[in-house]
Chain A
Amino acid sequence: MEIVTNNFEFLENGLGITLVVFLPLLSALVVALLPKKQELLIKLTALGSSLITFILSVIVAIQFDYSKAEQFQLGNKLSWIEAINSNYEIGIDGISLPMLLLSTFITVLAIIYSFEHLPEPKSPKGMMALILILETGMNGTFVALDLILFFVFFELVLLPMYFMIGIWGDKTMRSVAGLKNEVETRLYASIKFFVFTLFGSAFMLLGFLGLYFRGAKTFSIPELIELGTSGAFTGTFATLVFAVLFLGFAVKVPMWPLHTWLPDAHTAAPTVGSVLLAAILLKLGSYGFVRIALPILPEQAQAWAPAIAILSAIGIIYGSLACLAQTDLKRLIAFSSVGHMGFVMLGISSLTSIGINAAIIGMVAHGVITGLLFFLSGSMAHTYHTRDMGRLGGNMKLLPKTGGLLAFTAMASLGLPGLAGFWGEFMALLGAYNPLPGLNITIFRTSMVAGAIGTVLTAGYLLWMLQRVNLGEPNDEWKDKKLHDADAYELAAWIPLVILTILIGVFPKLIFGSTNDAVISLVTKAFGG
């Protein structure tokens, strides 16, 4: 620790975070300029840069002063667009730090996995470049402290993900309501993802502009938080702005009933795409609530909280019921995301420090666990050439390593105490049981009961999935086929996630140590409690 703080002081003035954000973009350029035939060089460049980015983010985490976690640290403010007073303002606090680390960490694993496991049309060059551009967007969103900067990074993830789904995605045909001819799943899913999220964020931008004009003509998030907590935004104006911010963030989370793009996108995306989508992209929405919507519009947050709680509860129940109806393994996991993000949003809606802490650890846990589930299901789909759970079965016997990991991850996902998934669910329910004073207690307790029923249903569908996929005797069709169990690249991508799942499960302080002060300060400043 000492070594780091002494030798890397030059990174403290915003340079460290800036590198974490833009190094991937620069490497993407380098990758794009390398000749296509130099596959190994391309892969190593991508891996190297993502590793360096990860190490830099760890250095940033070490430099971070945890005793002042509620303050934005290690940042900087440079002039960007003078005429509209938008600046390159960056910094991290205890809430964004875990998200940033999650993002840099998952990207490394995604790149390791892509070394050998790319669906047609292969082209590691394109895939690596897209993953790296995506990383810039994700990291940037977590460190941006200017609304316009936030918007640009928030949107930067759209293009790479669109191409990832559209080029490497699922090529089976499907029928779409309203279209005469069948279309390829990937084409439908990619544009649906794009249109849904752009729809939300176009309106979100209008909301940002509203804050700019009503506030002191500033886009700076810290300044707007000061204004917001001192009651600058009220009335119809604030209601409208919260509504459009809600639209922008809720599509991304996604909250029921804006979630319909998610199962399609997840099912169609290549494995790496699903992992990045689930692990990080969904968090951009819930992070937006915590970073922007809640502290800047506290009064509106309280007015909207019951509605968010109800939608979250519906999302939890709906997600789990939908899971019970799935035959497609990947689609099941996609719907489970709707449920899990429901818990995250339920935690946020309680507007208490317990609930928001729950939301953040829930985000990290969901990123780690569901990321791993998508890795596993993607790999199994690659081995078996099907995702139909009716044809799978006896996976433990056929692919013992993958099967074992699947069993472990399913347990983590259903919220088994001692593993990462537990804290987010449990504390979100706790938060909903005892929401911020003044909020409608009946609605929150009902949502809490719905959430509790949701945990049972979650356990139900995950165990049912395990029973169908992992246990029993293998189907006859696999008898004489040579099936490859997880290889070194896959294990290298997966084992760190397993370790992290256990670590966060046993030492939740890894996350709370960073978030708690920041969350308490947010709640006190915004809601006085």
Chain B
Amino acid sequence: MPRRSKFYIALVALLGSLISFLPLIFQWVNYENPIILFEGSYVIDKFSIILKGLFILVTYLTFLLSINFIESDRYYQGEYYYLLLSSLLGALVVTSSRDMLTLFIGIELASAPMFLLSGWKKGDQKSNEGAIKFFLLGVLSASLILYGFSLLYGLTGELIFSEISKILLVNNLSTSPAALLSVMLILAGIGFKISVVPFHSWAPDTYEGSPLPVTAYLSVSSKATGFVALMIILTKVFPDSGSSWGIVLVFISGLTMFIGNLSALQQSNPVRLLAYSSIAQAGFILAPLAVAGISGDYADGIYASVTYLIIYAFMNLGAFLVVNVLINTSGSNDIYEWGGLAKHQPLTAIFATVFFFSLAGIPPLGGWFAKFVVFRSLLSTGEVYGITLAIIGAINAVIGLVFYARISKIIWMDSPSENITINTKPVLLSPLKVVGFISLVITFLAGIFPNIFSNLGNASALFFNS
């Protein structure tokens, strides 16, 4: 296809993702009972509809973020959109999958295209390095998950989650060594996908090397896919061994918050900063699941985690948009060189303030409600683990503020750096503005009228009562 008409590829991708939103709306409006397909392998319930909506919207926004990047150099365009759409398909499959094969295919379909996309900047050494690391660890994580699944299959002879959990319960195998080994292997495998400590080390390098829109997608959509898979497996396959994996998750969650935030404090590269920030945020998302495992109140944990995921997705996309624009404006990958950029990019500076303080959890921006539902879920049982994690979370909210506020401080308050030349060409182009405004509106809505998001979280959690 001639270069000029490659524009149509983007258009098709954008329209395609929007149109795929329509059936979701019909499903939501006409919803009565969960639709069960393929003998229980594939289920359409409110949980899956809501998360599908999230994945489609996030991918749509990622396309908008990508248009200018992909035009800026001689990148493959058709393949780029094709791969992102494949990854989206994988994520969509994960939300509905209720058996091991479907889930595994979904997870891998979601992550395999990202190996390629993270190395899209072919000439860039860092991009290559990041992609290789990502690929190797990705394969390792896939094999861990697969190993865990094969143990389960050997133990029960079933593929469908509901059957497996029945057999585990009936035969008193829930806490058998094989079942526990299997859950740990799966946790480790998915731990790479959601980049929690100690499986996080690839994330900063890969994030730094990848093209920014891909990084944004990795930190939002890929991470969410991992979380969705984790929620489904833990609550549908291992609901009865929650007290075992719950404690492991408590430690992982607390460590992830601390290591993510403390490392983010020291970053001067904005992308690495966001990488560590998203590691820390994963700790927050994981915390309610951990406590739900111990208490057995899965609905409450899912409610908090899903609500957090939805709000996090938009504020984090917004943060990547800001970083994208500011790097292009200043030509510098060092946040300390960004002094006084608010003068040149007033709108972006406002975006930066909103998204970064929202990530820090400052009312009235959406992030406060995300943190709040997590704290609420942690304290709901009144048990020691929950209270400890809540205290760790509160301390981490304060640590996080220091580096989130730093970006705003630099661009609003610092004096301009002499080492950079300001790019006077328009950088905040209209597709980016659309992303900014959509994320801005959602961030404010989530902070001022949290009811909408709270209800979505609640609706998706209802299916985990049984």
Residues of chain A whose beta carbon lies under 8 Å from any beta carbon of chain B: 79-84, 148, 151-152, 155-156, 158-159, 162-163, 166-167, 186-187, 190-191, 194-195, 198-199, 202-203, 205-206, 209-210, 212-213
Contact = CB atoms under 8 A, between A and B. Distances in A.
A151 B397 CA distance: 15
Contact of B380 (A151, A205, A213): A213
A82 B452 CA distance: 10
Given A155-B363, A158-B362, A209-B379, A202 B397 contact: yes
B357 interface: yes
B375 A156 contact: no
Given A82-B451, A159-B362, A191 B405 contact: yes
B455 interface: yes
B121 interface: no
A83 B458 contact: yes
B454 A213 contact: no
B310 to A, nearest CB: 14
Interface in B406-425: 409, 412-414
Nearest to A184: B413
From B363, B397, B402, B405, name the one whose CB has the most chain A CB atoms within 10 angstroms.
B363
18 contacts: A80-B449, A81-B451, A81-B454, A82-B451, A83-B457, A83-B458, A84-B373, A152-B363, A152-B364, A152-B368, A156-B363, A156-B364, A162-B405, A167-B413, A198-B362, A202-B397, A203-B391, A209-B376
A82 B413 contact: no
A508 to B, nearest CB: 36
A83 B303 contact: yes
A218 B53 CA distance: 32
B391 A206 contact: yes
B372 interface: yes
A395 B413 CA distance: 34
B413 A198 contact: no
Given A84-B376, A155-B368, A194-B405, A202 B394 contact: yes
Contacts of B368: 152, 155
A277 to B, nearest CB: 18
A186 to B, nearest CB: 7
B409 A199 contact: no
Interface string B373-402: 101100110100000001100110110011
Interface of B: 303, 353, 357, 362-364, 368-369, 372-373, 375-376, 379-380, 382, 390-391, 394-395, 397-398, 401-402, 405, 409, 412-414, 449-451, 454-455, 457-458
B379 A213 contact: yes
A122 B369 CA distance: 34
A79 B390 CA distance: 27
Contacts of B391: 203, 206
Nearest to B373: A84
Contact of B409 (A84, A156, A187): A187
Contact of A206 (B353, B379, B413): B379
A103 B410 CA distance: 31
A236 to B, nearest CB: 11
A205 B405 contact: no
Contact of A167 (B397, B398, B412, B451): B412
A195 B398 contact: yes
Contact of A166 (B363, B382, B409): B409
Given A163-B412, A213-B380, A202 B455 contact: no
Nearest to A196: B398
A276 B285 CA distance: 37
A257 B405 CA distance: 25
Contacts of A162: 405
Nearest to B448: A152
A195 B402 contact: yes
From A79, A80, A84, name the one whose CB has the most chain B CB atoms within 10 angstroms.
A84
B417 to A, nearest CB: 15
A375 to B, nearest CB: 24
Contacts of B362: 155, 158-159, 198
Contact of A84 (B405, B412, B454): B454
Contacts of A191: 402, 405, 409
Contacts of B402: 191, 195
Given A152-B368, A209-B375, A82 B397 contact: no
B375 A205 contact: yes
From B357, B372, B382, name the one whose CB has the most chain A CB atoms within 10 angstroms.
B372
A166 B362 CA distance: 17
Top 7 closest pairs, chain A to chain B, by CB: A202-B394, A152-B363, A83-B454, A155-B363, A209-B379, A166-B413, A199-B398
A156 B368 CA distance: 11
A130 to B, nearest CB: 12
